[in-house]
A and B are shown apart, each in its own frame.
Chain A
Amino acid sequence: MGKSRINTNLIGLEKQDYKGSPTTLCAGCGHNSISSQIITAAFELGLQPEQVIKISGIGCSSKSPAYFMNRSFAFNSVHGRMPSVASGAMLANRNLVTIGISGDGDTGSIGLGQFKHAMRRNTPMIYIVENNGVYGLTKGQFSVTADEGQNLKYYGKNDLPPLDLCLEAIVADCGFVARSFAGDPKQVRPLLKAAISYDGAALLDIISPCVAFNNTSDSTKGYDWVKEHDDPLHDITYIPIQEEVTTQYDPGDTSTVTLHDGSQILLRKLDESYDPTDKLGAIQALQSANNEESLLTGLIYYDPNRPNLIQSENLVESPLVQLTTDALRPNEESLSQIMSNL
């Protein structure tokens, strides 16, 4: 077998096959970095692009599905309602891989209810919040994740405390809660892969700076601040199911998490005491990081044991959309029987 010069993945596709249309977002927008990490992660995992659905709400962030994976199906829905559309699509076709893209306004304000209910139902999907602390598309209003006391050019001072979307997800019993930073591809990529391998709702709250409206040096959603205050819990390595773990790790500072599809992530602990399966510990860690003005990143909470929406609905193996008349329309005899019992 001659070595091909062009890099292809497991299913024989090139990286080119995962690209999207040229972005129309601002140069330097964090959302673009996230798109390119999705492209890389999907390529490296060898996802069949047509089996991926990209669902989004409304906002600059929600536009970004146009800028990655053009061969996938997309549904750019209405403001705040990406989760319900994703839930409906997954119920219809359980074989699809759902990448949900949302913003902090789309998820934290208008869509807070749908967000939490999708977590609570454990709808199988990768739920990415491209979190910039503002409404980009409507030009710079404060969002619900904006810092208390922060000042913005047109909108003055923000008097209200922020919502922490990772906390909200944990409280809603989401079993995969991670936070990262668009400027840290090394961390975003393995988290994305792990989220894709997780068979339930996986939240990635990714700080994604808005260079147009919220990138001042004192903004906790700006590049400078995050680089200075990023406090990763661990170094993350994603190990696909096909690969063996070859390197030896000291079990004292490394833990292994096995995902639903058999792949693994290795977490080399930077914070000695952190255990991502401890729910109360995770809540506490997030709270104290917020109080200390540092940004806790990494896999914050993990629980593989909750049944997902497809399982709790007890659906047939075959996707509902592939069922034909004989499965969908009960026979004539059954109708006569019901009629005669009335």
Chain B
Amino acid sequence: MVNNLKVNDINDIDVDQNINIINDFSIQVATPNGSGSQTSNLVLLRSLFKMGIPSSGKNLFPSNIQGMPTWYTIRCSQEGYVARRDSIQIMVLMNPETALQDINNIQSGGVCLYPKSAKYNFDREDITYYPMPVKRLAKESGVSSALRPYVSNMVYVGVLASVLSIDLLEIESALSWHFKGRQKLVDTNMPVIQAAFDWSRENLTKTDRFQVERTNSTDGTIMVDGNFAAALGAIYGGVTVMAWYPITPSTSLADSLTEYARLLRHDAEGHATYSIIQAEDELAAAGMIMGAGWAGARAMTATSGPGISLMSEFAGFGYYAEIPAVIWDVQRVGPSTGLPTRVSQGDLTACYWSSHGDTEHICLLPGNVAECFEFGWRAFDIAEQYQTPVFVLSDLDLGMNNWMTKPFNYPDKPMNRGKVLTADQVNENGFKRYFDLDGDGIPYRTLPGTVANGASYFTRGSGHDESAKYSEDPLDYATNMSRLRRKIDSSRETIPAPIVEHNKTASIGFVGFGSTDPAIIEARDRLAVIGVASSYLRIRALPASLTVSDFIASHERVYVVEMNIEGQLHKLIQIQSPELATKVLSLAHCDGLPLTASYIVSEILEQERGPNGKIKD
């Protein structure tokens, strides 16, 4: 059975049997960028989610404000899978420019919705067509011509609601939620949806077999994007200075932070307990958080690849001069401008070793939105505990797309402000900035403004001794660098530990990090069904826990799954455990799209097939 399996079997929904397909399909909406379809798509997604159907939405958008093609994909999965899936069952063609290609992406047996007026010459006979009177309904809505493109997009919402049986009440409350309760906007859009729904009930004969049914599978969950989660985490982590420079896909993190800090972080007189600065560039954003972290603030920035490159000199400074700060990297495809609106995990080594000279930075690797929240606050504790810049690597898919999650847990630990001496402590015991008093590599610091004899010190990126005095002494340099090495090493088992699912019967294992998690989960399930058992370890921070080595040692082969070209994590693991290097295989893939389970499954089947065509034991 295994040997005959084709990728499509995994990819597609089984439509051959003559039964209805409930809560298990993908809808794709193709529109020109900037045509205002985002509201319609998010309303659809939220209605499905509120009907209890596990759903996820992914926006595939161009680096452009208006005109270039955009695709929004909603996947419904009763089994709860939220990774991207290649095959599309229901396609809404709102973009004439791409319609003739888009139609080919519909799985046989699927559905095609399109505006009647488009007069396409489609020749596929294996799908169902539902032409929609978009122009007429938009016109009849009576809205001004400026608003017409927006309400036009409401037509497909109404038609889909009718075709798939989406509850109109859920659509109305999703609209209201989306417009933050502004009834006027609801009243502009809802009648168009209703009209499209009614038209469709009267004029369309349903010949497809896709349908939704209310369940309770999403009870107790919320739907948010990772950038919102990260921003909220930072607010509950007590961020005081945030400096940033706009760059996709990190901008919405700063936007959410601005929006929610305004609500949550003012004193009784309305004064802010934080500052958010839009800096002139990432060089300045990095300088600001260095200055702020040095002075004792909980300082952070959010950026993406090009910003990471610009910040690297300060990252090295912060490592060497031991300054706490948090740097969020919402990754996109590089090098250079790369694919600025597409996802990758290509900045791992750039962050881990950011700067010239020898550095190794603590990197946190959230794999879901709940962890974006958690690491949002924990990153400050770690940065202040270890007195060093901490990178948090999210990515475009995790950061900008919507994900189901359990509500976030309130921080379960008090803030850890690290080893900061008060004036009294300095007066009593004296103070040497870089002296390893406790033997853990972490020195004590004082904050500027501490009035005590000997409290002040000179922070510099040049060579220094234990007292922070300028030094070119070879021994001072070597001692200091090896203490820094020890300090970072000592974080290995205290920063977020890997999540391990050890399957005793499995000879292969997966190692991954970040937003590939849903694809790996789904791939393992599908592999298990066809008799390939696997274990899974998800790394949540670097430097990596030694658990990773144990995991590799206890499997025959371990595949390191990641969305980049070079297999960056794979190489890091080989460096960390050279004795296990031949047991780890790289499964690195990056084309700008979120990873799919079918990719992983087909790669594994390919690699695991022995010379006789049989899957290895």
Interface residues in chain A, defined as those with a beta carbon under 8 Å from any beta carbon in chain B: 48-51, 53, 55, 65-66, 70-78, 81, 83-93, 95-96, 113-114, 117, 313-317, 319-321, 323, 325, 327-330, 332, 334-336, 338-340, 342
Residues of chain B with a CB closer than 8 A to A88's CB = 241, 243, 287-295, 297, 299
Residues of B within 8 A of A86 (CB): 291
Contacts of B275 in A (CB 8 A): 91, 313, 315, 320
Within 8 Å of chain A (Cβ to Cβ): is B492?
no
Please name 9 pairs of A and B residues whose Cβ atoms are closer than 8 Å in the assembled complex, sorted by A.
A74-B459, A88-B291, A88-B293, A88-B295, A88-B299, A92-B291, A338-B232, A339-B407, A342-B223
Bound CA span A327–B277, Å: 20
A50 to B243, CA, bound (A): 26
B: residues with CB less than 8 A from A are 222-224, 232, 235-238, 240-241, 243, 260, 264-265, 267, 270-275, 277, 279-281, 283-299, 313-314, 317, 407-408, 410-411, 414-415, 447-452, 455-462, 470
Residues of A within 8 A of B280 (CB): 113-114, 117
Interface contacts beyond A84-B283, A335-B410: sample of 6 additional A-B pairs, CB < 8 Å, sorted by A: A73-B456, A84-B279, A93-B448, A114-B283, A327-B273, A328-B415
B288 touching A328, Cβ below 8 Å: no
Q: What residues of chain A lie closer than 8 Å to B296, measured between beta carbons?
A: 92-93, 321
Q: How far is the CB of B379 from chain A (nearest CB, A)?
A: 14
B291 in contact with A55 (CB, 8 Å): yes
Give CA–CA (A128, B273) in the complex, Å.
Answer: 30
Q: Are A316 and B459 in contact (CB under 8 A)?
A: no
Whether A320 pairs with B279 at a CB distance below 8 angstroms is no
Contact of B458 among A76, A78, A96 (CB under 8 A): A76
Q: Are A84 and B291 in contact (CB under 8 A)?
A: yes
Are B297 and A85 interface neighbours, CB within 8 A?
A: no
B77 to chain A, nearest CB (A): 20
A78-B461, A93-B296 known; A84 and B288 CB under 8 Å? Answer: yes
Cα distance, A55 to B289, chains bound together (Å): 14
Shortest C-beta distance, B349 to chain A (Å), equals 22
- How far, in whole Å, are A335 and B376 apart by their CA atoms in the complex? 14
Say which residue of A89, A316, A332, A335 sits within 8 Å of B291 (CB atoms): A89
Q: How far is the CA of A65 from the CA of B458 in the complex (A)?
A: 9
CB-nearest residue of chain B relative to A114?
B284
Task: Point out the residues of chain A lying under 8 angstroms from B294, CB to CB.
Answer: 75, 85, 88-89
| A89-B459 contact, Cβ under 8 Å, with A114-B283, A117-B280 | no
Whether A50 pairs with B452 at a CB distance below 8 angstroms is: yes
Q: Are B237 and A329 in contact (CB under 8 A)?
A: yes
Residue of A nearest to B274 (CB): A320
Chain A, Cβ-Cβ closest to B232: A338
**Are B283 and A81 in contact, CB atoms less than 8 angstroms apart?**
yes
Residues of A close to B236: CB separation below 8 A: 329-330, 335
Q: In the complex, A91 Cα to B243 Cα: how many Å? A: 11
User: Which residues from A are CB-within-8-Å of B260?
Assistant: 338
List of A residues within 8 angstroms of B271 by Cβ: 314-317
- Inter-subunit contact B277/A76 (CB<8 Å): no
Asked if B414 contacts A75 (CB within 8 A), the reply is: no
Q: A93-B449, A113-B280 are in contact. Are A330 and B265 (CB under 8 A)?
A: yes
What are the 10 closest A-B residue pairs judged by CB atoms, nearest first? A84-B287, A88-B291, A328-B238, A321-B296, A92-B297, A88-B288, A88-B292, A85-B291, A92-B295, A73-B448
Chain B residues with CB under 8 Å of A317's CB are: 271
Contacts of A316 on B, CB cut-off 8 Å?
267, 271-273
Which A residues lie within 8 Å of B267 (CB)?
316, 327
CB-defined contacts of B238 to chain A, threshold 8 Å: 323, 325, 328-329
Contact A321 B297, CB 8 Å, known A55-B291, A87-B288: yes
Closest approach, in angstroms, between the C-beta of B409 and any C-beta of chain A? Answer: 9
Are A49's CB and B283's CB within 8 A?
no
Q: Return the chain A residue nearest B457 by Cβ.
A: A73
CB-based contact A66/B232 at 8 Å: no
Q: Which residues of chain B are within 8 angstroms of A78 by Cβ–Cβ distance?
A: 287, 313-314, 317, 461
CA distance A66 to B287 in the complex (A): 20
Bound CA–CA A92/B449 (angstroms) = 11
Q: Which residue of B lies closest to A342 (CB)?
A: B222
Q: In the complex, which residues of chain B have a beta carbon less than 8 angstroms from the beta carbon of A96?
A: 295, 448-449
Name the distance in Å between B411's Cβ and chain A's nearest Cβ: 7
Instruction: Decide: A71 near B456, CB < 8 A? Known: A313-B272, A325-B238, A330-B265.
Output: yes
| Residues of chain A with a CB closer than 8 A to B240's CB | 91-92, 320-321, 323, 328
Q: Output the residue of A70, A91, A328, A330 with the most chain B CB within 10 A.
A: A91
Assess A92 versus B284: contact at CB under 8 Å? Given A49-B456, A314-B272. no
State A24–B241 Cα separation when bound (angstroms).
36
In the bound complex, CA of A86 to CA of B317 (Å): 15
Please state if A81 and B448 are interface contacts (CB–CB under 8 Å). no
* A72, A83, A329, A334 pick with most chain B CB within 10 angstroms: A329
B344 CB, nearest partner CB in chain A, Å: 28
Q: With a CB–CB cut-off of 8 A, which chain A residues contact B298?
A: 328
Q: Are A323 and B273 in contact (CB under 8 A)?
A: yes
> CA separation between A48 and B453, bound complex, in Å?
12
**Smallest CB separation, A320 vs chain B (Å):** 4
A66-B290 CB under 8 A given contacts A50-B449, A53-B448, A321-B296:
no
With the chains together, A272 CA to B271 CA distance in Å? 45
For residue A285, give the distance in angstroms from its CB to the closest CB of chain B: 29
Is B317 in contact with A77, judged by CB distance below 8 angstroms?
A: yes
CA distance A222 to B296 in the complex (A): 41
